């Protein structure tokens, strides 16, 4: 049984980054950048007005009100490309180029226009309401880096620098298979000694959130030979296979036996983790295999700690593992003397602005109803019997 940090280290050590692919900008959201994004122009590309008003020379306004001749108009997309001289002003709109000779913009509310002239009512200092060329970005600078996740706010950056197509990490192909003769699909009514499968759908959902292209496979029964065939077939067409169930030490736990008989290289099979001790990480041919426990909460915890990390690393993510943060514990929480615990919680802020982690009242690794509200996991070190409310705790956020 190995510690969690060693298990994550092994996952990263044995995960290979997939090749990059080019996608249209409209399809780039939530993908992982596989190239640095370089500015192909200055931003802004010219001295730009920050508001509607008049482009002026600050020295012309040593005394106010000052009367200036209006010699032109500069609008966004249609600038006035002449040199402005002493005693002149140019009507200007927000986002428009500031003409040569002007060094300030006075807002329209502090002006009066009549008979081809404008009266400027208050003085301005040089540079007022002007964004200078290249003050945000200079051509040739790196604006986004490979390994970053493309979010909605980044789309404007990509578009502004001409990236109609973007290089991103390829989506890993993930096959998901739940095992157990007691399982029936969600559209079936369970008979005696049966339960509906939830793990297939949970894993598929988390894998999709991690950027994978997911295939849900038919349920697998507790038969080693049949399971070997299903695992081999799935591994032949996937970058990763994620199974649930059949990895503990019971008589009917067949997944590890099937993997061994197929010649899989098993990197670990037990982790010092609560919940989720019987977690398997292996490689069959070129395909990574994660054998997760059968209990639904254990599935969610182990997928997010281990399988998600591998999926993100496959895509070239700069930070593949869940990011650790600190919160204040909202109520007392029991730990485990033997194993490190990742326990479900809801995050909220109090009236002082503190991030609070409220532990969920749950009945163990099969209590998926309580876990449905979880937005984070609280990391409780091994050997800690109880953490008092008000104590700082380490948390990781779940994708929701």
Reading the chain (400 residues) residue by residue, the pLDDT tens digits are 999 999 999 999 999 999 999 999 999 999 999 999 999 999 999 999 999 999 999 999 999 999 999 999 999 999 999 999 999 999 999 999 999 999 999 999 999 999 999 999 999 999 999 999 999 999 999 999 999 999 999 999 999 999 999 999 999 999 999 998 899 999 999 999 999 999 999 999 999 999 999 999 999 988 899 999 999 999 999 999 999 988 766 655 789 999 999 999 999 999 999 999 999 999 999 999 999 999 999 999 999 999 999 999 999 999 999 999 999 999 999 999 999 999 999 999 999 999 999 999 887 777 899 999 999 999 999 999 999 999 999 999 998 7
In this prediction, residue 251 carries a pLDDT of 58
pLDDT, the chain, mean: 96
Share above pLDDT 70 across residues of the chain, in percent, rounded to a whole number: 99
In this prediction, residue 222 carries a pLDDT of 86
In this prediction, residue 172 carries a pLDDT of 98
In this prediction, residue 40 carries a pLDDT of 97
Rounded-to-integer distance, Cα 94 and Cα 257, Å: 69
284 exposed, middle or buried (CB, 10 Å; 0-12, 13-18, 19+)? buried
Burial per residue of 320-342, b for 16 or more beta-carbon CB atoms within 10 angstroms, e otherwise: bbbeeeebbbbeebebbeebbbb
Contact 383, 340 (CB under 8 A): no
- What distances in angstroms separate CA 387 from CA 177, 311, 371, one per listed residue? 37, 33, 20
Q: What is the pTM of this model?
A: 0.90
In this prediction, residue 364 carries a pLDDT of 77
- Can you give the length of the chain in residues? 400
pLDDT tens readout for residues 258-274? 999 999 999 999 999 99
pLDDT tens readout for residues 170-181? 999 999 999 988
- What distances in angstroms separate CA 122 from CA 1, 50, 109, 221, 245, one per listed residue? 76, 17, 10, 83, 76
Kindly tell me the sign of the dihedral angle through the C-alpha atoms of 378, 379, 384, 387: negative
In this prediction, residue 252 carries a pLDDT of 56
In this prediction, residue 151 carries a pLDDT of 97
């Amino acid at each position: 049984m190995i510690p969690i940090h060693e298990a994550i280290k092994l996952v990263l050590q044995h995960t290979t980054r997939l090749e990059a692919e080019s996608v249209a900008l409209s399809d780039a959201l939530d993908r992982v950048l596989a190239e640095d994004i370089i500015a192909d122009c200055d931003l802004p590309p010219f001295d730009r007005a920050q508001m509607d008003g008049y482009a002026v020379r600050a020295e012309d306004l040593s005394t106010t009100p000052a009367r200036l001749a209006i010699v032109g108009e500069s609008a966004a997309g249609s600038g006035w490309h002449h040199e402005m001289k002493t005693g002149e002003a140019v009507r200007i709109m927000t986002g428009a180029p500031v003409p040569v000779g002007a060094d300030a913009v006075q807002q329209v509310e502090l002006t009066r226009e009549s008979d081809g002239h404008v009266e400027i009512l208050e003085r301005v200092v040089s540079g007022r309401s002007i964004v200078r060329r290249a003050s945000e970005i200079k051509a040739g600078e790196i604006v986004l880096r490979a390994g970053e996740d493309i979010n909605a706010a980044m789309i404007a950056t990509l578009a502004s620098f001409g990236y109609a197509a973007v290089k991103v990490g390829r989506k890993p192909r993930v096959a998901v298979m739940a095992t157990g003769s007691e399982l029936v699909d969600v559209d079936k009514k369970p008979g005696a000694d049966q339960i509906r499968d939830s793990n297939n759908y949970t894993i598929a959902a988390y894998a999709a959130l991690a950027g994978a292209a997911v295939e849900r496979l038919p349920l697998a029964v507790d038969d080693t030979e049949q399971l070997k065939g299903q695992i081999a077939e799935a591994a032949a067409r996937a970058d990763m296979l994620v199974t649930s169930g059949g990895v503990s030490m019971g008589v009917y736990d067949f997944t590890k036996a099937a993997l061994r008989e197929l010649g899989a290289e098993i990197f670990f099979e037990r982790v010092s983790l609560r919940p989720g001790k019987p977690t398997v990480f292996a490689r069959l041919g070129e395909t990574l295999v994660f054998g997760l426990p059968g209990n639904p909460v254990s599935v969610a915890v182990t997928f997010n700690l281990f399988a998600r990390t591998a999926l993100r690393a496959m895509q070239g993510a700069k930070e593949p593992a869940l990011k650790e943060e600190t919160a204040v514990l909202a109520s007392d929480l029991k730990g485990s003397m033997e194993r490190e615990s990742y326990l479900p919680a809801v995050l909220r802020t109090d009236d002082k602005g503190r991030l609070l982690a409220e532990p969920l009242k749950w009945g163990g690794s099969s209590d998926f109803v309580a876990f449905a509200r979880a937005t984070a996991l609280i990391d409780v070190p091994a050997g800690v019997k109880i953490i008092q409310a008000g104590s700082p705790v380490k948390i990781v956020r779940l994708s929701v």
